[in-house]
Amino acid sequence: MIDLAPVQKALLTAIGSSERPSESRFAARLARNPELLALRFRRAERILRLVGGEGRALLDAGSGIALNAVLSILAGASEVHAVELNPHRLEVARRLVAELGLGARVHLLDQDILTFELPPGSLGGMYSNEFLEHIVDSPEYHRRAARWLAPGGRVYGRTGANGGNWLYHYTYSRKWQRAERGVYQPARRNALRALLPEAPAETLEKLARATRGHGPAELAEAARAWKNEGRWPPPLGRVPKNPETGVYYERLRGPRELVAEMAAAGLRARVIRPDYRNAFTPSKLKRLALHLAGAALAATHPISLCVAPWLEVLGEKP
């Protein structure tokens, strides 16, 4: 039995008095419900079994605060390359790894997974949690997975943005609109102000509205086109992108779409039966209802994908 108490202590210390709401909420929830960490560990064990990663080097794409990377080490991985672009989450990750003395086995990388390189065939497995809905070039990510994995190595991905869910096409549209108005449009306005300091406020506002779906490079090109040619850019899609990093806010990913792009990369791919047993809520009654609903969804897979809360895919390198 793995003793998770040192991990909990190190994690709460690493998050500390973080001003980031997501990390602070997670720390408060973990402090109230220590059993949450055991459930996360069982999830990590399952992923390790799925990718066949025991005793092998793994890659955690979009690793966040590196909790999954740490738990993968405890579950039996030899080392983990934890790739994360968000500097705030990466700082928490650095403190967590240092607190646990795992610096030699958890390699924190603040690099874009679409541009950095690893030796071909150097990984036993790869995994991601809530990452596939954010990455800009998902086909290229899977091409890299096929290159980096050793023969027989597997790549696992889980996304809560299940495009097979009928209801999500309505609810996500509303979510995108709220995020666009409240976060991404003002962020683009600020970025455009730095690119076009002489532009009138009303012009910046119009450009900010017109550049929905633009990342940093696309935003810079839109500013150049307006300044040099007086040309207004067309929006690039409904899903907002972060104007600093270029990653999607949260786009829907369809089961067939993901399997097809993994197959195109040379991976034997399939949608796998989700496991809802490690879902958590503090209320025991709600937890029971959640697990019963999850058991019904798992039993009716893949038909249940049309209402399932998340989607899981697995690809194997021949």
| pLDDT number for residue 64 | 94
| pLDDT number for residue 224 | 95
Residues 24-29: what's their mean pLDDT? 90
The helix (run of H) or strand (run of E) holding residue 143 is helix 138-148
CA distances from 171 to 29, 145, 162, 176, 178 (A): 26, 31, 12, 9, 11
d(CA 96, CA 101): 9
Q: What pLDDT, in 10s, does the model give residues 133-188? A: 999 999 999 999 999 999 999 999 999 999 999 999 999 999 999 999 999 999 99
| pLDDT band per the 50, 70, 90 thresholds, residue 281 | confident
Residues 38-62: what's their mean pLDDT? 96
191 or 18, higher pLDDT: 191
DSSP assignment string, 229-260: H-PPPPP--SS-B-TTT--BS---B-HHHHHH
d(CA 38, CA 3): 9
d(CA 10, CA 4): 10
Residues 245-268: what's their mean pLDDT? 96
Q: What pLDDT, in 10s, does the model give residues 3-26? A: 999 999 999 999 987 778 888 899
| pLDDT number for residue 244 | 87
**In the predicted model, is pLDDT for residue 213 greater than 90?**
yes
Residues 249-271: what's their mean pLDDT? 97
The helix (run of H) or strand (run of E) holding residue 128 is strand 123-129
Of 128, 67, 75, 127, which is closest to residue 92 (Cα–Cα)?
A: 67
d(CA 180, CA 96): 33
**In the predicted model, is pLDDT for residue 227 greater than 80?**
yes
Average pLDDT across the chain, whole number: 94
Burial of 37 from C-beta contacts in 10 A (0-12 / 13-18 / 19+) = middle
| pLDDT band per the 50, 70, 90 thresholds, residue 286 | confident
| pLDDT band per the 50, 70, 90 thresholds, residue 314 | very high
| pLDDT number for residue 97 | 97
